A and B are shown apart, each in its own frame.
Chain A
Amino acid sequence: MITRRKFIQHSALATASIMVPSVLKAFDAPSPRDFQNGKQVIIVQLGGGNDGLNSLVPFRNDIYYKLRPKISIPASKVLKLNDQLGFHPALSGLKALYDSGDLAIVNNVGYPNPVRSHFRSMDIWHTASDADIVWSEGWLGRFLDICPSCQEWEVLNMDETLNLAVRGKKRSGFAVGNIQKVSNSVSPSYVRSMAHHHDHDNEVVSYLYSTLSNTISAADYIYNKSVIYKSKKTYPNTPFGKSCRQVAELVTSGASSSVYYLNLNGFDTHYNQVIAQERLLIQLSGGVSTMVEELKANNKFKDTLIMVFSEFGRRVGENGAEGTDHGTANNVYLISGALKKPGLYNSPPDLSNLKEGDLQFQVDFREVYATILDKWLNVASSQVLKKSFNPLSII
């Protein structure tokens, strides 16, 4: 049913080299990738800067309690992983995944010269650039740019609009906020008949027509997959919960997309953090763990890798409004039924060694990306990241 799609080495070189900047050309070697591995990665983006220290609490650390007199999580409440660290009580779903050996925690993930602007820091995570360079293509967009045989639905952004991470120079991911709505938008007969009149002597108009017909074919594909399997599980009744459900249904139905990108926003907790963060973590934990249960039951979990990240963590000390301000390094969770090294990948942050009140990063986030690209999607990460990063030995 799924056509065998492999990188065609010659066409990869021929088409990719036209528009790719010269920096990238150096890495533009043929990139072998076997799409029949049937694996997918699900990226969960926590927008606004999730407070990693209150998500994964160092409950034996006096500095933590001293710097956060009002908003710290009491040791008696945390879901203990070992004698030092425990999850926020709202993350019971993640705790269960940790216990079953399906969750790995990478601590102190960040990048050199951290930027505390949401805007910029999210761009840096999206484009995988250094902090002092502005790139306008996202890392998953570049993945598509060097993959001529990738389908229009290879990278699905589960949102109304596309974020920068999935935008490339030539190609971009496909935005699906609500599958039914996307399908409705392309269903009228005039849309289809319009798309048939493809050729136009105006090159730009002709481009618009081909985008239109690609949109139609991708929307049809996704819709047809989405009706094969319908979940009976209860997901959080929020946009994030619905996205988790849509992803679980598509993966179970055998959709051939390799990447699913989900958002959960609202983590910018400068005020009254305790309540706001708890509400969001309940959604995160509920959405992700239900999705995992669903994938497990359908024998898809071993082919699925979930990455949970945020553009930065928050300052170690609380502010005067029972919240926290923008910080730097943070923890990243990797969840899969095929982890080689589950559990804690590295040691928790050293609160006695802060830089200007902030955690210091140890693991570059692009090492996490390289792990996903090299070891999961089987694509040479140096081509996508325009630099060499060592993958982590987690998968």
Chain B
Amino acid sequence: MGVPNHKKIQHLYLRAGFGLPPLEWNEKREMPISLAVEALFSDINKVGELQQMDLSYFSLSPSEQNKKRSEYQGKSGKVLRQRNLDWINQMATGSSNPLVEKMTLFWHGHFANHIRFGFTAVQQINMLKRHALGNFKDLVLGICRDPGMLHYLNASNNQKNNVNENFGRELLELFTMGIGNYTQQDVVEASRAFTGWNHNEHFRFVKQDRFHDTGKKTFLGRTGNFDGSDIVDIILEEKATARFITRKIYAYFVNQDVNEARVRTLADSFYNSGYDIKALMKSILSSSWFYDEENIGIKIKSPTELLVGIMKTFRLKLHEPEKFYQLQKALGQKLFEPPNVSGWPSGKLWINNGNIMLRMGLANFLTQQLQVSVPFRKLHPVNISKTLPVQKISGMSFIGFNEIFGCCSPGDLVNGIAEYLLQPTTHQNIGYNPGFSEQEKMFHIILQIMRLPEYQVC
């Protein structure tokens, strides 16, 4: 018995996006996969960018900047939190193509850096969004010139005669080639080529010629008066780069337990296409093995995937950035703040005793805070940490649930909702109080399913 089509559709949208609201899932459930993949790629130009903050501060004179510095910093901090939440809402509302958003989240974890300012966060995430499904070279060059990243990796300390290897090392080790494909000398030579690449006081990219080392460099066997973009070209000439990136994409989108032969084939095509990310993703999502049973329901959702998935199901919108940040912190994934340069953990590392109850109770926690006429106390809420601040939420709707599942007998109701919400089957007994109204029953069933460990995977 093969995997049913509706499960494949759900798989496609959970991995290439954040899942589907019930109505859309129901519309697409019998759609052939090839058409669904086409549809996903058909509007990849629909990208909602984050709104940049007011930058008038940067055009002030130095003395006026001095006066207004703390006001600007306060504003910048606020924008940082607000854009974090804006991005989450964009992922959840479908105002942007889901694959572009998912891919941007992937690149954000790949080019991991702690972004400190609202301005540089918007700049960097929008750059990632623009190139998320474009060419990998544009993405790498974009990150090499990104003020937030340059700031984070101490580019201003990387000068002729005083080389700082921080950027060069991360570029090779984490961003492009992976350890074992270059020598320490290559790190030094690459770093020399990037000397003088910095941002100015307005946080714009600049090449500072006076700090640039114009001498000859020997990098991965080639010799020349290389600068940073030459280094990127050479890195991309190496097949190791295509393999490293393809492998990481496979582990993230398909299965952490990587099929090396498949990755080799995909990487060869990726290399031959000149690093076309869209083509790579298309061949993964159109392949038949992507929909094999062994790849379905085996990935632990990242906190962002879990959260946005719930928001999508109920059409929720969140409104309070500072409180939301506390929630992200408790879940273990603050956007703009990966734990270190190697990005967020994955798989089982997302889970520990400090967050498992919160994760299981998340849907309950979010919906509890809505003014909906359901007697929540009767629903045995998961008692997660009361220290998390209440978040203002709007939107909440059962659109789809009533239409699709409302008709059915009690047993079908539970099975129907479980089929929509879960990838693995569950052995848990889902029941409800027969005294509840139809709406209460439905809500009770949804929340019971959403707090199952089975809901934590996709």
Which residues of A approach B to under 8 Å, CB–CB?
117, 119-120, 123, 132, 134, 136, 152, 157, 159-162, 164, 167, 172, 174-175, 177-178, 181, 184-188, 190-191, 194, 197, 200, 202-205, 207-209, 211-212, 214-215, 218-219
Contact = CB atoms under 8 A, between A and B. Distances in A.
27 contacts: A119-B340, A123-B339, A134-B340, A134-B342, A136-B340, A157-B354, A160-B330, A161-B332, A161-B354, A162-B352, A162-B353, A162-B354, A177-B385, A181-B383, A184-B383, A185-B384, A186-B357, A188-B383, A194-B453, A202-B424, A204-B348, A208-B453, A208-B456, A208-B457, A212-B356, A215-B356, A219-B353
Given A191-B382, A208-B456, A120 B340 contact: yes
Given A161-B332, A205-B424, A207-B348, A174 B340 contact: no
Interface string B414-458: 000000000010011000000000000000000000001110110
Nearest to A321: B70
Contacts of A204: 297-300, 347-348, 457
A194 B352 contact: no
Nearest to B383: A184
B339 A205 contact: no
Nearest to B353: A215
Interface in B334-372: 339-342, 345, 347-349, 351-357, 360-361
Given A185-B382, A200-B454, A211-B356, 16 more contacts: A119-B340, A123-B339, A134-B340, A161-B354, A161-B355, A178-B387, A184-B383, A187-B383, A202-B297, A202-B298, A202-B457, A204-B300, A205-B454, A208-B456, A215-B353, A218-B353
Nearest to B345: A136
A136 B356 contact: no
Nearest to B453: A208
B382 A188 contact: yes
Contacts of A157: 354
A208 B426 CA distance: 13
B387 A160 contact: yes
Contacts of B341: 134
In this complex, which of A174, A185, A186, A190 has the most chain B Cβ atoms within 10 angstroms of its Cβ? A185
A158 B428 CA distance: 33
B392 interface: no
Contact of B380 (A120, A188, A209): A188
Nearest to A197: B427
Contacts of B298: 202-204
B222 interface: no
B114 interface: yes
Contacts of A123: 339-340
In this complex, which of B297, B354, B424, B456 has the most chain A Cβ atoms within 10 angstroms of its Cβ? B354
B387 A211 contact: no
A188 B339 CA distance: 33
B239 interface: no
A197 B342 CA distance: 36
B216 interface: no
A209 B15 CA distance: 23
Given A119-B114, A211-B351, A161 B329 contact: yes
Contact of B342 (A136, A209, A212, A214): A136
A136 B342 CA distance: 8
A209 B360 CA distance: 11
B453 A209 contact: yes
A172 B387 CA distance: 23
Contacts of B165: 132
A161 B457 CA distance: 21
B352 A172 contact: yes
Nearest to A183: B383
B210 interface: no
A184 B267 CA distance: 50
B378 interface: no
Nearest to A199: B427
Contacts of A187: 383
A262 B345 CA distance: 23
Contacts of A174: 353-354
A123 B452 CA distance: 33
A-B pairs, top 6 by smallest CB distance, nearest first, are: A175-B354, A208-B453, A215-B353, A185-B357, A184-B383, A202-B424
A186 B165 CA distance: 48
A200 B352 contact: no
Contacts of B354: 157, 159-162, 174-175
Contacts of A211: 351-353, 356
B202 interface: no
In this complex, which of A160, A175, A177 has the most chain B Cβ atoms within 10 angstroms of its Cβ? A160
A214 B340 contact: no
B297 A164 contact: no
A199 to B, nearest CB: 8
Contacts of A212: 356, 360, 453
B385 A160 contact: yes
Contacts of B339: 123, 164
In this complex, which of A132, A174, A190, A204 has the most chain B Cβ atoms within 10 angstroms of its Cβ? A204
B351 A208 contact: yes
Contacts of A117: 114
Nearest to B299: A204
B386 interface: yes
Contacts of A214: 353
B51 to A, nearest CB: 26
A181 B353 contact: no
Contacts of A181: 383, 385-387
Contacts of A134: 340-342
Contacts of A200: 424, 427, 454
A218 B349 CA distance: 19
A200 B410 CA distance: 25
Contacts of A175: 352-354
A319 to B, nearest CB: 13
A100 B161 CA distance: 53
A185 B352 contact: no
Contacts of B427: 197, 200
A177 to B, nearest CB: 7
Contacts of A205: 297, 424, 453-454, 456-457
Given A136-B345, A205-B454, A207-B348, A190 B380 contact: yes
A117 B157 CA distance: 14
A132 B167 CA distance: 12
B174 to A, nearest CB: 8
Contacts of A185: 357, 361, 382-385
Given A136-B342, A160-B330, A152 B385 contact: no
Contacts of A202: 297-298, 424, 454, 457
A152 B428 contact: no
A376 B342 CA distance: 33
Contacts of A162: 352-354
Nearest to A203: B298
